[in-house]
Amino acid sequence: MEVIVAENIGFCFGVKKAIDAVYEQVQTGGNIYTYGAITHNEEVVKDLEKKGVRVIESSKELAQIKEGTVIIRAHGVSKDIYEQIRSQNLKCVDATCPFVKRIHDIVEKESATGRQIIVVGNAGHPEVEGTMGWCRTPAIVIESLEEAREFSYQGDKELFLVAQTTYNYNKFQDIVEIFEQKGYNVSVVNTICNATEVRQTEARSIAAKVDMMIVIGGNHSSNTRKLYEICMQECENTYFIQTLDDLHLELPESVRLVGITAGASTPNNIIVEGTVIDVKPDEMVLNIGYKSDGILTRNEYTNEPNVDLTTVAKPGDTMEVKVLKVNDGEGQVLLTYKRLAADRGNK
């Protein structure tokens, strides 16, 4: 069996920025809060809770805080939440994704000119709710092709369309086409994050040629669910799991090629068991079931600079390693052993 792992997996830029901001604040001590879960990944949220970070979900909960630091999650929040934090004299760390912040700036400006803002996205999603909170006048949310077809606007305002950053790119284009066919006076700004588009395109490509597809991500992650929907369109044997530990499948012999992708809120920590096929003093080569063999260098095996790897492993040995990079530019898979050991608390 061969495995294809998408190159564009792991935390996206915005999510990583937000998570790093929380861990930095933890080091400073004091009361740390995030407005909403910092990311839709339960494993990350649980780890932060262990470090004393508390999640608040509403302005009412925010009002109960007397002192401390409030971190705005990557999804962003409405304008009135910023004002409330300021009025309560709390420290605010704004970890809103820059691509989300751009949408806030756009809708605030365009709604002020009298345009009717339409947000193409998932109603009730934190990013969409936050975006609506920056509009000067009430915004309209369109979630599906069906809603776009049924939409009827009787007002005289020019319509202005933006999209949730993680929305399905192809579906957004279809919705835009529907609005144009209806003859509305409409302006469109594609605010889907480029990383989302790239991730979705790659997932679709992989799913189209594999026997089974695995999508990894948090149960509440909107972008991961969209990846799952896209993969299901190409491969009916698509499975949505939160971690690789959740995968308990007895694969039939007919499954020769498996694809793996992950949402933007998923840590890039795929762990595999490999068999050593070649060892040199400064690196070893492992068969990990991918199309390419994995390379484990001395630097990624241990922090000891002079260890001869031929003294610690031989062909035929098996070991668990973490995938660092699927493609290092030369078609090789880079592995690490020491980082996996550190994660597990080993010396």
- Tell me if residue 43 is catalytic: no
CA–CA gap between residue 299 and residue 336 (Å, rounded): 9
List phi, psi (to 5°) of 110: -70, -35
C-alpha distances in Å from residue 222, one per residue of 217, 228, 311: 9, 10, 47
Confirm if 34 and 55 have CB atoms less than 8 A apart.
yes
CA–CA gap between residue 192 and residue 186 (Å, rounded): 18
The number of C-alpha atoms within 13 Å of 74 and in the hemisphere containing its C-beta is 25
Query: Exposure string (b/e) for 284-319, b if CB count within 10 Å is 16 or more?
Result: bbbebebeebbbbbbebbeeeeeeebeeebeeeeeb
Q: Does residue 96 sit in helix, strand or coil?
A: coil
Dihedral over Cα of 238, 239, 244, 245: its sign:
negative
Active-site entry in 2, 42, 127, 330: 127
What radius of gyration, in Å, describes the C-alpha atoms of the chain? 23
Beta bridge partners of residue 271, listed in sequence order: 322
C-alpha angle 55/57/58, rounded to 5°?
135
CA–CA gap between residue 37 and residue 48 (Å, rounded): 10
Query: Which residue, chain included where needed, has tokens 């922090």?
Result: 303
Q: Which two tokens stand for residue 223?
A: 């972008």
CA–CA gap between residue 278 and residue 294 (Å, rounded): 11
Cite the active site residues: 127
